[in-house]
Structure 1
């Protein structure tokens, strides 16, 4: 009886208070409520931040692709196209306007690369990363366009004879006077007399603010004569995107309605 009593006392004294025996097959499973809330919050915040960065990059890439091939915002940097376009306006350039066989027409307002016609070939050099970022910002309308990009109105197309000015001070295209209602108030059609024939595949460009526009007239007598190759046209200005008070499509002009074809005039 004494021996059984001693065993009983030993069994009662050993238990949970002494902890699990070495080699026990039981494992402690932590209660989820015991997890540090700060750790959970940190993990969730990191995941949300990473998702936001990814979505932001995806949207930026999509906008750049859309701007490159379809519709590009363009910041107007000067007053050469006033009153049609003003400094600080943001216009939307339709890059599909001339992609499927169509060509610029007289009266169109277009954005074009003036390299080789309005400006010399740019010298290579500089920081390529900075140039890439600048071009990306310009393509989204957040910065001024490259120094080689211009916005002007098409006045003459291939084969046209453009003359200024007739006895009443008007511009003539293929012998027909043009009533340019879009000109800046008080401006003459041109302070420089000229009589040119536009070569095929090129355009004669002029700004609406003639007294404040460096355009095809300023390159007469130079290589190219101020003629812009059609393939240098980036797109047609179809809409005003900013300011909100002027939001909408760009008004067209009837100034060139009735102009005879170049062949008929020369014949």
Structure 2
């Protein structure tokens, strides 16, 4: 028969094995969670924060949004979509480097990898799609509206300062080339958008392959949680008028 000391030793070894197995399982779960989060962030959704007022009042500074990366790769872009895209060239001023201590930089890097932070938000822009390839987009009508394929848009989402009526600060009359977009911020008098970048080599157009994805929800702060509308009624019928 085993002695009492042998039983105690066996119980201790069992507890050590149980503790070791528990720690191992926790580490495996953690690594799997990181991997799944990384894959989701890389191929499906991604988080960005809003660094400017160009999309007010739809989006506020420091809002965090979730972006569907399946658009435009698998899902076509539509009129009214709010999209995140890389700078087509010269739209953004050079950004000063952000200095962090070693620990802060490491934490931010981990959060970026798993999609809970967005270290490169300042290198991207977010605007609303007004013109798709083939559309004729112009501003402004006698009433101050943007028109798409000759149809004036009544845009409930835009912010125009008191005393102003035009839905853009610069006039334009363009046809969107194949593979590109015409985009505008909702805060029309404070937005580096297509209308303000007509003099650059890209003539204000955004290549579709620069689009990271479509923003579909405000995820933070919690009191701002809401789905982002693409306002289909605003653009209803513009495709039929395309020549």
TM-score w.r.t. the length of structure 1 is 0.72
Which portions of structure 1, spanning 4 or more consecutive aligned residues, are displaced by more than 6 angstroms?
39-43
Q: 1:131-188 CA deviation, whole Å, 9 max, x = no partner?
A: 9x64961761324434332211001111222211122211122222111110125364
Change (3 A) 1:148 1:34: closer
Deviates more, 1:236-245 or 1:75-84: 236-245
What is the CA RMSD across the aligned residues, in angstroms? Answer: 3.3
Contact 2:67–2:214 under 8 Å retained in 1: yes
Q: Larger Rg: 1 or 2?
A: 1
Which of 107, 114, 118 aligns to 2:80? It is 107
Equivalence for 2:140? 165
**2:123 is the counterpart of 1:148:** yes
The verdict on how the C-alpha distance between 1:135 and 1:48 changes in structure 2, with shifts beyond 3 A counting, is: closer
Which protein, 1 or 2, shows the higher relative CO under an 8 Å CA cutoff with sep ≥ 6? Answer: 2
Contact 1:70 1:96 in 2 (8 A): yes
Distance change (3 Å), C-alpha of 1:259 and 1:36: closer
| Partner secondary structure for residue 235 of structure 2 | coil
Q: Are residues 159 and 175 of structure 1, via their aligned partners in 2, closer, same or farther at CA, if it must alter by over 3 Å?
A: same
Hey, what does 2:153 align to over in structure 1?
Answer: 178
For the pair 1:258 / 2:231, whether they are aligned, the reply is: no
- Out of 234, 241, 255, the position equivalent to 2:212 is 234
- Unaligned stretches of 5+ residues in structure 2: 96-104
Give CA-to-partner distance per residue, 1:214-239, whole Å, 9 cap, x none. 11123212111121111221211222
What is the CA–CA distance in structure 2 between the aligned matches of 1:34 and 1:235, rounded to whole Å? 59
TM-score, scaled to structure 2: 0.78
User: Is 1:58 the counterpart of 2:32 in the alignment?
Assistant: yes
Determine which of 21, 28, 49 is the counterpart of 1:75.
Answer: 49
In structure 2, do the counterparts of structure 1 residues 50 and 77 end up closer, same or farther at CA, with 3 Å as the change threshold? farther
Question: Structure 1 143/53 Cα, relative in aligned 2: closer, same or farther at 3 Å?
Answer: same
Unaligned runs of 5+ in 1: 1-27, 123-129
